[in-house]
Structure 1
Amino acid sequence: MWLFIQRLLFLVLGFTACLSQAQIFTFNVPADQGLCSDAQQTKIGQFISDAKTLVADALWAIDQRKTHNPALLAFFTSYFGIRWTADYSRFGDTQSALAWETVHDTLKAVKAFLDGNGLPAELQFTGRPPFAFCGDATYQTRGWGDMAVDYQGDQIEKDDGTYETIWDLYGIDFPERSFTPFYSPVQRGYAFTHGSRPCADTVDLDGNPAQTMAFVAKPLFPKTTGTIEAFGKLDPSMVLCDVSIDIPAERDNMVEFLSDIEYPTADKPTGLDDKLPQSSSFFHELTHLTTTDVTDRWYPLDSCIKNAVADNGIQTSGAETNAQSYMLFAMAIWYYRHPPAGVTPATFYQGRSNDKLHIDN
C-alpha cells in the first residue's frame, strides 16, 4: 500500500530477492528495529525470485506488441487503459502511447533494481541499498508536540532559545493532525500515516478496508544550517508487515509463492485476486520503490479494471501510475504465459480466468 504524505510515502507491498537479497537490500539493523531473521531473509530471496519472473513476463508482453496479437494486447487495455486501433497495429490515441511508455519505463526500473543495479539516481541519496525491515518496529510513535531532531539526532534550536517541535516543522502538511508522526532511529527520519501503527489496517482511496501487507517509506529529515533551510532526503525503504512475511493463515486468502498457485481450469475458473501469492504484493511495492510517480489510486481488482477502461475523454485513466494495476497485470500475464501442459491459458481480461476477449471500453 502506498500513502502519499507530503514528506513521505507509504505503500503496501510484498518483497523480492536473487543476486543475493543482501546485495539488493540493507538488512543490517538492530534486533529491535525491524531486523529480518535468517529465515525471513531467505523468504525475501524467494520473493525476489518470483518478482523477477513477474517482471520478465511483463516485459515479454511489452515485446509482443509487434505481433499485433489481440489476445495478448487486450491485457494492456484491461489493466492500463491502453487502447488500440481495430487491427491492434497502432495505439488508439496519444494518451495510450504515453501510458505505454510509462508502463515500459516502470517495468525496466523494477528489473534494473532486481538485477542489482540499485535505485534510479533521483532516488539514491546515501549510496547504500535500501533498508528492508520485517515488522514496523523501526518506527517509533511520536507526539506532535515532541521536539524534533535533525539527521544528527540533535534538537533544533530557534532564535528565541526554544526548540522546534514536530508540529512546527510538519504541521502545515497535516493541519487537522489526522496523521500520526513516527520516527525511525535507523533511517533518522520522520514518517506520517493514519492509525496507531504503520502496519495497522487502513482504507483505500475509495474508503474500502485495506490490509497493510507492507509499505515503502520515503521519509525526510530536518536539514539545518543554523536555521531550517530544507528537508533532507533519505533513500526509500521497505517494511514487510507480519501478514506479508509470516506463513499465511487460512483467513488471509493467500499463498506464499507463484509455485503454490493452483492453476485454474475450464471447469474450475477463479478470480485473479483469489489466493494471490505474498510475493505479488512484494512486486506491487517494487513499483513504488523504484519510481517517483507510481502511487496507490485503487486496490480492488474490479476498481482497477473499471477505472482503466473507463472512457474519460482525452485524460489518461491514471492506471499507468497505479501500483496495484502493475501487480494485477503481471499476474494476468504470468497465468497467460505459464499454463500447465494440456491446460488452456487463463484469460483474466475482466478479472476471471475464463474471460472472453471482448472488453467493453
Structure 2
Amino acid sequence: MFKAKTSKGVIVDIESINTVSKTSQRYNCPYCNHEVIIRAGDKYRKHFSHKNADHCNYERESIRHYEGKLTLYRWLINQTKEVDVEYYLKAINRIADLYVRMSGKKYVIELQCSQVKPDVILKRTADYNRLGIDVIWIIYKEHVKFKKNRKLTEFEIACMKHDQIVYMSETSIFIYRAVMNSSSNTFNGMWIKRHLNDLIIDNLLDRNDVTNTMNWVEVKQTWRLKDCLYFIKYNRMYANFVYNNGFQPSLFPVEIGIPIKEQYLIKMNPFVWQSYIYIYIFIFEQIDWYDVFRYCRNKFCFRTTDEHKIMNLIREYLNYLIKRECIQILDNVIYRKEMKHKELNAEEALENDQKWNLKVK
C-alpha cells in the first residue's frame, strides 16, 4: 500500500516517511482501519502492509503492480497536482489505482498486471462510468510484439478505449491503435512507442481519428480478393442474404467496410456488419431508425450491454451514409436517397477504394 492513516487520522504516503526505523507512530489502513506496518527490503520498495490482511478487502498487490503504480503517480504529479493514488470511492466500494482531475473531468487509471476475465474489467469500467468517471486501463507487459496485424484476447479488447490499448513496461508506454478488425478478434492497426518522460496524459486520452494515417486499400483488397470467399463458404445464411438482394461481397460498394470508432464493440468483421445494415436499408424506400436499431440488436453480438454505446456506433455508420448521400434521416425516418445499386467489376471496385483512400488522407 502507498497510503496509511496516522493515529490522529492524517493520511500520509510512504514517500513522505524518510525512515523505516522503529517509531512510536502507529499507522492504520485508510479503508479497514486495521493496523499496518512499514516494510522495506532489497527486493522491493518501501510500502505499508497489513499486519493481518484477512481483515481488509484491499486486494494484495504484486511488487510489479506497486512499482508500476508508483511510476505512473510520479509521472502524473509532474503534470497536475490533482492526482490521488489508491483513491477510495465509497459509492462503488472500489479503490482506484490513480484518480486524476483535469479540465473539469475525472479520470481513473487502472494498472492491470495479470490477465482477468473480461467481465471483471467491464464491471469495473461500468462502476466508474456510473459516477461520471472515465477509465484508462493500462496493461503491464514486459515483452510486447510490435505487429500491425494482431489477434487480441477478449481481455485486451475489454481494456480497449477509443480503439486503442495502452501497454506499459518499466519506463515506457506502448499504444496500439486497433483501428479496423478483419475478424472478430484480429485487428489491423498501428503502434505508438514513447518513454514516459516524452509522454503526457493527453496522449492517453487522444480520440483523434487515425484513418488518415492508414492505408485502407490493402485491407479492402484482402477482403475483396480473399476473406469474403472464405467467409461466404462457411456462412451460407449470410451468403443467401447478400446474393438474394443482388450484391456480391467481392464487389461491395465503397461505403461498406469503412473504419468506425469503437467498432470493436461488435463481434463481427466490419465488412459483414456494415453490409447487413447497408443492404437492409437498401431493401426499403424508407424505414424507421428504431427498426434498424432493433435489427442490429438482434443480428449482431456486442461486447457491451450499454444501449447508448450501441446506438452511437450504429448512428455513426448511418451518419457516414448520410455524408456519402446514400440516405437522409428526417424525424427518425431513414429515406433511401441515392442508394442505387450499380453493378461493378473488380477493377471499378478497386478504383473506388483508391479514390476513397485518397479522400481521407
Q: TM-score range by the shorter chain?
A: under 0.3
Give TM-score, length-normalised by structure 2: 0.24
Give TM-score, length-normalised by structure 1: 0.24
* Structure with greater contact order relative to length (CA < 8 Å, sep ≥ 6): 1
Structure number with the higher strand fraction is 2
Q: Which has the larger radius of gyration?
A: 2
